[in-house]
Amino acid sequence: MCIMITMNKIKRVDLKVPSLILGCSGMANMYHRMTNAEAIGIAEGAIELGYRGFDVAPHYGASLAEIRLGLALRNLERDDFVLSTKVGRLLYPRQEEGLQNGNEFYDENPMNRVFDYSYDGIMRSYEDSIRRLGTRRIDILYVHDIGTYAHGKTPEERQHFKTLCDSGFKALEELRKNGQIKAFGIGANEVDIMVEAMDYADMDIMLVAQRYNLLETHHEEFFQKCEQRNVSVAVAAPYASGVLVKKSITEGHYEYGSVPKEIFDRVMEIRKVCDEYDIPIGAAALQYPLRNKNVVAVVCGATSQKQAASNWEWAQTDIPEGVWKALSDIGIN
């Protein structure tokens, strides 16, 4: 069965999002360098293909991705696309030599990231993103990297969460009430913090990165709570940092690092099923999250126009039900 690119409504609010969204971290020189023209060309090429959803963050290249994406989006009327970015980090000019995240984002802007989940911090982050993107509004704001994955099991992590609950959510609720955004939620690499946070704010959508893909499938408590609270879900990184679409253990990443042998062996097991049906493993990986009734979109990054085109094609690949049955037989439900 083919899951075509559709416009899917976020349950709680009057906003539809494309089922395939371009993730823009790669446009910020993530893991490799590219020119401004190459980066902007990724988004412009995606627009020509038909992409109408874009996800970015101040963290990506210390604002580099937002600036580059904003230039590409000038070719579209504002009502013709859906735009999301993130809050939780503020950027300040870096006075010392070197780059804060040079091992992840090459040639990033000379800014230091400072976590700030307060009312004032979120308001400033929103305003800064508006300026960098050159847009009159942002559709969705995600609270970026709250929780233990980013901050560890530390007192600081609990303080960040308390700050978000005490004042940060008030800023997001105010922005939504005033029509400056249409929806908000959390964007993180873990679901536990999302389950906890749903008790403190009426959020609209969760952006789950890395945690729901062909390699990690079971989050019953999370999806049950989303249903109870009428919260929609977007799934980022359906290729698990790229390992699901690479043929060698030395290629790609897993959890933003090198690929463990047991993970690569599992990928080869999944690939064997897809090969038997002559289906690209990338197509199965991209479409798998959309089979969940709570998921309204997948966010796929691209570091080239070719990758963006592959994602577009895989999103519309006809996948027979036999593939999903065979994957279920090896524990992927």
Give how far Cα 136 sits from Cα of 78, 186, 204, Å: 8, 22, 21
CA gap 197, 216 in Å, rounded = 22
In terms of Cα–Cα distance, which of 239, 303, 288 is closest to 267? 239
Start-to-end CA distance of the chain, whole Å, equals 16
Phi then psi for residue 27, to 5 deg, are -70, -10
Give how far Cα 47 sits from Cα of 37, 80, 134, 205, 249, Å: 15, 11, 17, 24, 32
The answer to whether the beta carbons of residues 185 and 203 sit under 8 Å apart is: yes
* Residue-wise DSSP of 63-102: THHHHHHHHHHTTS-GGG-EEEEEESEEEEE--SSS-TTT
* Catalytic residue flag (residue 60): yes
State the Rg of the chain over Cα.
19
- Whether the CA torsion 268, 272, 275, 280 is positive or negative: it is negative
CA gap 175, 143 in Å, rounded = 13
In terms of Cα–Cα distance, which of 290, 286, 285 is closest to 267? 285
CA gap 1, 4 in Å, rounded = 9
* CA triple 215-240-205, angle to 5 deg: 95
Which among 31, 51, 60, 212 is annotated as catalytic? 60
Q: Which residues participate in catalysis according to the annotation?
A: 60
